[in-house]
Amino acid sequence: MQTKRISLPSKLLLIVLFAGIYMLGYIHGHANLVFDKNLTPKLVHTELKKPTTVDFSIFWDVYNTIDKNYVTEPDKQKMVQGAIAGMVESLDDPFSLYLTKDQSQSFLKDLNGEFEGIGAELAIKSKMLTIMTLLPDSPASKAGLKPNDQIVAIEGKSTLDMSLSSAVDAIRGKRDTKVALTVATPGDIQTRDIIITRAALKAQSVTLTRRDDGVAILRIMQFGDDTSKRAQKYARDLAAQPPKGLILDLRGNPGGLLSSSIDIVSLFVSDKTVVIEKDRKGQKDELKTVGTPILPDTALVVLVDEASASASEIVAGALQDYGRAKLVGVKTYGKGSVQDFINLSDDSTVKLTIAQWLTPKGRAINHEGIVPDVEVKQDEKSDADEQQDKALLLILEDK
């Protein structure tokens, strides 16, 4: 089967979507198409045979009973879509999802970093719809939302039994329209109601900052279509005017394209395995770096946090395994599963977990996360960036 693989997560390692939302591991973050062996993104239509070992008679009994007896004429297409979604949800896997045609089109649009919504990355944590990270200067950020805030209701409707894709559909919408959210902050007794005006958003996947002390900071917000090209350009700039060291900031990055994560690791090491894919039969496939590294000797520290997921964890895990960088922050999300994004005949899709990621040394990422070399918790009440400060100290002390 050839598919579009995004690490969020096409194997989009994510992803996750930005509501515009990146849904962790959803990569709508995404957050996951699957690539073929040449790492070429594509969607495929897959013909499947009808199962012969399953009795569908009860299904059709229920379908016909509803069709003939329900108090109003049911929407038959909606009934079928609900049954399909329920079948996927029965896997109890938050990263396996059924997407309607409209949801699938939104997913592909989000991969380009363009969307309309509030600019918050969402995930389901402990059965609660939770904000993982926020786009800078987004409507969500300006409204005072913070990471780990829980959205308990959307337009007055509880999110407790709402799927991630349904929540995304409810929150996202056209620019200049409004959405009402009820938000709870862990530790606070009272919830609060806020109204946010949606906006057109453009996620800048990579930024480069040069500090006066000679240290450069390369921040990757997501592993999107333009990430490799932007990061390689910045790397060439750094090679032309070498910094004292480089901080690779992957905090809040939910994942993205597997090919982009491989390209990022390839900036720093050569001829190495980046990640190992292990399927249900235990078979393993090693994916290697590409090309010649642009920054093979630059002192490197990687920043990670609990919202660094999927492709971010592939990059962090590989650089840590090879001793190429020290990791600073807190343990990452632990999204190390591989999703196939399968295009169906009506242009709806199924995103299905089909394998797991391992680091080059064979460490499991899924549910385990990547543990940093230096643990630094961020004080949310402080304006200081303790994690970045520690990374700077590690680089400058070594000079």
Task: Give me the residue spans of the domains in the chain.
Answer: 116-202, 206-338+354-397
User: Catalytic pick from 335, 337, 351, 390?
Assistant: 335
pLDDT at site 124: 81
Residue 185: both structure tokens together:
């902050």
Please state the φ and ψ torsions of residue 316, each to the nearest 5 degrees.
Answer: -60, -45
Is residue 348 a contact partner of residue 98, using CB atoms and an 8 Å limit? yes
> Are 247 and 217 spatial neighbours (Cβ–Cβ below 8 Å)?
yes
Which residues are registered as beta bridge partners of 208? 218
Helix (H) and strand (E) counts in the chain: 9, 20
Catalytic-role residue among 104, 310, 337, 348? 310
SS3 139: helix
Per-residue model confidence (pLDDT) at position 94:
82
CA distance 111 to 22: 9
Residue 134: φ, ψ to 5°: -130, 145
Question: Is 157 strand, coil or helix?
Answer: strand
pLDDT for res 30: 31
Q: What is the distance between the alpha carbons of residues 233 and 235, in angstroms, rounded to a whole number?
A: 5
Give the pTM.
0.71
Residue 239 CB partners (closer than 8 Å, separation 6+): 294, 295
Angle between helical axes of 258-265 and 311-321 (0-180°, round to 10): 30
CB-count burial class (<10 Å; 0-12, 13-18, 19+) for 122: buried
Give the start-end residues of each E strand in 203-258.
206-210, 215-220, 245-249
321 is catalytic: yes
Burial class of 133 by CB neighbour count within 10 A (0 to 12, 13 to 18, 19+): buried
Residue 31 exposure: Cα atoms within 13 Å on the Cβ side = 39
How many Cα atoms occupy the beta-carbon half-sphere of 163 within 13 Å? Answer: 18
Phi-psi category of residue 169: left, alpha or beta, with phi > 0 → left and psi -120 to 50 → alpha: alpha
Q: Are 244 and 399 in contact (CB under 8 A)?
A: yes
Residue 20, preceding peptide bond in cis (omega within 30° of 0): yes
Q: What is the CA radius of gyration of the chain?
A: 21
- Nearest of 396, 379, 392, 347 to residue 102 by alpha carbon: 347
Q: Which residue out of 110, 149, 305, 321 is catalytically annotated? A: 321
Which has the closest alpha carbon to 332: 300, 356, 366?
Answer: 366
**Closest to 119 in 3D by CA, of 80, 175, 39:** 175
Contact between 205 and 249 (Cβ < 8 Å): no
> So what CATH class is 206-338+354-397?
alpha beta
Q: What is the pLDDT of residues 162-213, one digit of tens each?
A: 888 789 889 988 999 999 999 999 888 899 999 999 998 876 789 999 999 9
**Taking a C-beta distance cutoff of 8 angstroms, is the pair 43, 33 a contact?**
yes
Predicted confidence at residue 26, as pLDDT, reads 29
CB atoms within 10 A of CB 150: 17
Q: If you ran DSSP here, which 8-state letter would residue 51 be given?
A: P
Instruction: Say which CATH topology domain 116-202 has.
Output: Pdz3 Domain (2.30.42)
Q: Mark the ranges of the chain whose per-residue pLDDT is less than 50.
A: 1-47
